[in-house]
Amino acid sequence: METTTAVWAVFAAAAAVIYWFVWVMGAAEVKGKRAVDLKMGSITSDKVQDNYKQYWSFFRRPKETAGDSTNVPAFVDTFYNLVTDIYEWGWGQSFHFSPSIPNLSHRDATRIHEERAADLINARPGLKVLDVGCGVGGPMRAIASHSRANITGITINEYQVARARAHNRKAGLDSICDVVCGNFLSMPFSDASFDAAYSIEATCHAPKLQDVYREIYRVLKPGALYVSYEWVTTPLFRADNEEHVEIIHGIERGDALPGLRSHDEIAVIANEIGFEVLEEKDLAKPPAGPWWTRLKMGKIAYWRNHLLVSALTMLRIAPKGVVDVHEMLYETAGHLTRGGETGIFTPMHMILCRKPSTATNVAAADE
Ligand SMILES: C[S@@+](CC[C@H](N)C(=O)[O-])C[C@H]1O[C@@H](n2cnc3c(N)ncnc32)[C@H](O)[C@@H]1O
């Protein structure tokens, strides 16, 4: 009798631990994804590991991919197939950083950073706004709720389109938020069709910033505002410092970047295209709280999650290759943290531009 009771007690405890480990601890931070739902985007489960290997060999030496830039969007698409579910599970629906704010949750700090972009472009009801590189639409929904503007997002990744649309419906925002699949280097929108635009940590994936800024310029109406949060190296970066170079390479290869730009290139390129630059600022600079603490605090979570994804892969609930992707993201988190701590990198170099009200639709660089 006592043995049977003990066996049942052990059994119940084990079931509770497994439930807690997979369903509770593995739950998405901001709804949507649990560890047991990791699918790896549109890639069939037998191809995940191969896709990961192809991605890794392409981005291993990021600067060198610049010579092979026509393939970058396809590999960026592969990257987001591999990471979108993991990001949603571990991070939430907004795939960007924000300055930490004392006594506020990451979720609130994220929303404030997004609303800042909305306010900079004066988003308001009835305005047609473009979200360039929209992810699964976390910023889009925050900005639409804050401003009641109509927002169209574009992402290269088909799987993100489905996720974003499902989230929009769930949030009751699908009447003012939509998402299309396409390449922001050649957008499926007419000339002068948007009243404003923003991009949050997305244009860093363009091999040449000129190409995406030229497209944004084309689809904006004369007089329209555009704000971007760019990933750049700061004035503290030294190209002859080995540690700096290793940190930046680590960020590039783990985030599908064809080569980070320097802070002083952004306004030059915007001007070259024909934009008037109204404001430029590194939003990570003090008094802003550090954006990387969220990654640092997440180290224990990374190890815990490593065990979880390994167990799910062994049980064939998650596809083979998820552990590799998780490992890559863990390493990248380390490089991002070092980038933040040394001050050589910022993911929030803000630039606010206007397409001149007298503009014809041709970008200056094309004239
Ligand atoms: C780091 S995520 C940021 C997403 C979103 N802005 C956010 O903050 O949640 C970068 C986004 O840029 C998109 N992207 C990258 N290259 C692209 C391209 N060539 N065309 C369209 N979207 C692209 C990715 O699909 C992804 O949605």
pLDDT tens, residue by residue, 105-114 = 999 999 999 9
Judge: domain 27-366, CATH 3.40.50.150: yes
Check pLDDT > 70 for residue 329.
yes
- For ligand 1, atom 16: residue with the closest CA: 205
Check pLDDT > 80 for residue 208.
yes
How is residue 308 written in tokens? 């979880």
- Residue 227: CA atoms inside 13 Å, Cβ hemisphere, count? 23
- For ligand 1, atom 26: residue with the closest CA: 135
d(CA 98, CA 290): 8
Backbone angles phi, psi at 150, to 5 degrees: -90, 125
Atom of ligand 1 nearest to the CA of 114: 8
Atom of ligand 1 nearest to the CA of 185: 19
Residues 316-326 have a mean pLDDT of 86
- Scanning 149-234, the segments in alpha helix (DSSP H) are 158-170, 209-219
Contact status, residue 243 vs residue 191, Cβ threshold 8 Å: no
Q: Which helix (H) or strand (E) holds 223?
A: strand 220-233
Give the closest residue to 318 by CA, choosing from 49, 42, 80, 38. Answer: 38
Q: Collapse the DSSP code of 35 into the 3-class scheme (helix H, G, I; strand E, B; otherwise coil) and give the result.
A: helix
pLDDT value, residue 28? 46
* Binding site membership of 155 for ligand 1 (Cβ less than 6 Å): yes
Atom of ligand 1 nearest to the CA of 183: 20
Residues 285-296 have a mean pLDDT of 90
Predicted confidence band at 1 (pLDDT cuts at 50, 70, 90)? low
Residue-range domain boundaries for the chain: 27-366
Q: How far is the CA of 142 from the centre of ligand 1 (A)?
A: 17
Atom of ligand 1 nearest to the CA of 131: 6
Number of Cβ within 10 Å of residue 39's Cβ equals 17
Q: Collapse the DSSP code of 222 into the 3-class scheme (helix H, G, I; strand E, B; otherwise coil) and give the result.
A: strand
Q: Collapse the DSSP code of 235 into the 3-class scheme (helix H, G, I; strand E, B; otherwise coil) and give the result.
A: coil
Check pLDDT > 70 for residue 32.
no
Contact status, residue 324 vs residue 49, Cβ threshold 8 Å: yes
Contact status, residue 106 vs residue 128, Cβ threshold 8 Å: no
Higher pLDDT, 3 or 245: 245
pLDDT value, residue 37? 74
* Binding site membership of 163 for ligand 1 (Cβ less than 6 Å): no
The mean pLDDT of the chain is 89
Q: For a substitution probing ligand 1, which of 201, 251, 350 has the most ligand atoms within 8 Å of its CB?
A: 201
Higher pLDDT, 233 or 87: 233
* Percent of all residues in the chain with a pLDDT value above 90, rounded to a whole number: 64
Q: Is the pTM of this model over 0.75?
A: yes
Check pLDDT > 80 for residue 185.
yes
- What are the angstrom distances between the C-alpha of 138 and each of 73, 144, 151, 287, 304? 22, 10, 12, 25, 25
* Binding site membership of 185 for ligand 1 (Cβ less than 6 Å): yes
pLDDT value, residue 294? 85
* Percent of all residues in the chain with a pLDDT value above 70, rounded to a whole number: 90
pLDDT value, residue 29? 46
